[in-house]
Homo-oligomer: A and B are copies of this chain.
C-alpha cells in the first residue's frame, strides 16, 4: 500500500490494475462496458480492469466469459455540471472519488475517467498530492501532426504560471514521450516567434532554464516554436502554460472539424474515394481517438477522456495507461528532478 506523498515503489511488470469510471460522460455506461469487454482479450492476461458503475449497468454482464474484468458497483455519481470541489468533498461514494482513493491505496495502478474534469483534478490533487519536485499538476494531451505526435502540456490545469512550472512541464513531457519509446525527445516552447527573445519575461526565463537543463540531459531543446510550425511535426514535447495551451488545443480542434464538415458537405455522394480519404483524415484529426488528457504531476496515473468522446477514446486510454504503468512513468518523472 502506498501512503500519501510516499514515492511509489517500482511496479512489477507482470500485474497491471486499471480502474475505469463508466459514469458521468455522454456515452452510456452500458455501451462503454460492452466495448471494454470486447476489447479485453486484446490485452495481456496480466492486465486487470476494474469498472466503476451503478448496479443497473452491470445487469446484462456475464462475469463467466470475462476474465480480467472486475465490476465495482457504486452508489453515487458526480455529474458534468457539479461544482468540482463541492462534489469531491460531498460525494465520497462516487465512482470518481472511489477510483482515486483505490489508486492512492495501491489497489489500482492507473485510473481513467470520462467524467467531470474539474472534479477529477481536484480529487487527484487532494487525495494523491503532487510528486516530489512537482509544484503543480498539468494536463498533457497528445496531438497528431503531419509526422509524429506531439505531447502538449499544460492544456488547462492552471491559468497562472511561473517559469519553474514550465520547466517542470518540460520534464514531465520528456518522461511521457520516453514511455512511448522516443529515446531523445525534442522539447519546444510555444511562443509567438521562433527568436530567443520573443514573448513574455516568464517565457524568456523558461527558454534559458530549459536550454541549460538540456545540456546534460536525455532530451534536446529546440527553442521557441510558433503555433503554425507545430503541425509540421518534429517536436515531441510542446511546453506552454495552461491558458495558452487550452486556446491552442481548442483552436486546433475547432478549425479541424470545421474544415472537415465543409468538405464533407460539398462532396457528392458518389465520390467514394474522397469519402474514404475524409473518414481517414477525420480519424487522424479527431481527438476522441486519442487517449484524452493525462493529469501528470500527481502521485498516480490519472487519465481524463473526452466527455463527448466515443468508446474508442476509453479503449485508447487503457492501452496508454498500461504502457505508462509498465514504463514506470511516475518514477521517471521523479528521477528527472
Residues of A within 8 A of B (CB): 145-146, 156, 159-160, 190, 192, 199-200, 226-232, 242-244, 246-263, 266-268, 271, 273-274, 277-278, 280-281, 284-285
In the complex, the answer to whether A255 meets B258 with C-beta atoms within 8 Å is: no
In the complex, the answer to whether B255 meets A277 with C-beta atoms within 8 Å is: no
Other-chain contact of A243, B145, B192, B263, B281 (Cβ < 8 Å): B192
In the complex, the answer to whether B227 meets A247 with C-beta atoms within 8 Å is: yes
Other-chain contact of A256, B232, B259, B274, B278 (Cβ < 8 Å): B259
Other-chain contact of A252, B244, B255, B284 (Cβ < 8 Å): B255
Which residues in B have their C-beta under 8 angstroms from that of A145?
Answer: 258
Top 5 A-B pairs ranked by shortest CB distance? A228-B254, A227-B250, A228-B250, A251-B251, A227-B251
**Whose C-beta in chain B lies nearest to the C-beta of A274?**
B274
Which residues in B have their C-beta under 8 angstroms from that of A257?
Answer: 228, 231
In the complex, the answer to whether B281 meets A259 with C-beta atoms within 8 Å is: yes
Interface of A, secondary structure class, is helix
A156 with B251, Cβ < 8 A, contacts A244-B243, A263-B277 known: no
A20 to B13, CA, bound (A): 68
**Whose C-beta in chain B lies nearest to the C-beta of A254?**
B228
Nearest CB in chain B: distance from A50 CB, A: 31
A190 with B247, Cβ < 8 A, contacts A267-B274, A274-B267 known: yes
Which residues in B have their C-beta under 8 angstroms from that of A251?
Answer: 227-228, 230, 247-248, 251-252, 255
A221 to B199, CA, bound (A): 29
A260 with B259, Cβ < 8 A, contacts A247-B227, A252-B251 known: yes
A242 to B198, CA, bound (A): 12
Which residues in B have their C-beta under 8 angstroms from that of A277?
Answer: 263, 266-267
A254 to B256, CA, bound (A): 10
In the complex, the answer to whether A229 meets B247 with C-beta atoms within 8 Å is: no
**Whose C-beta in chain B lies nearest to the C-beta of A285?**
B259
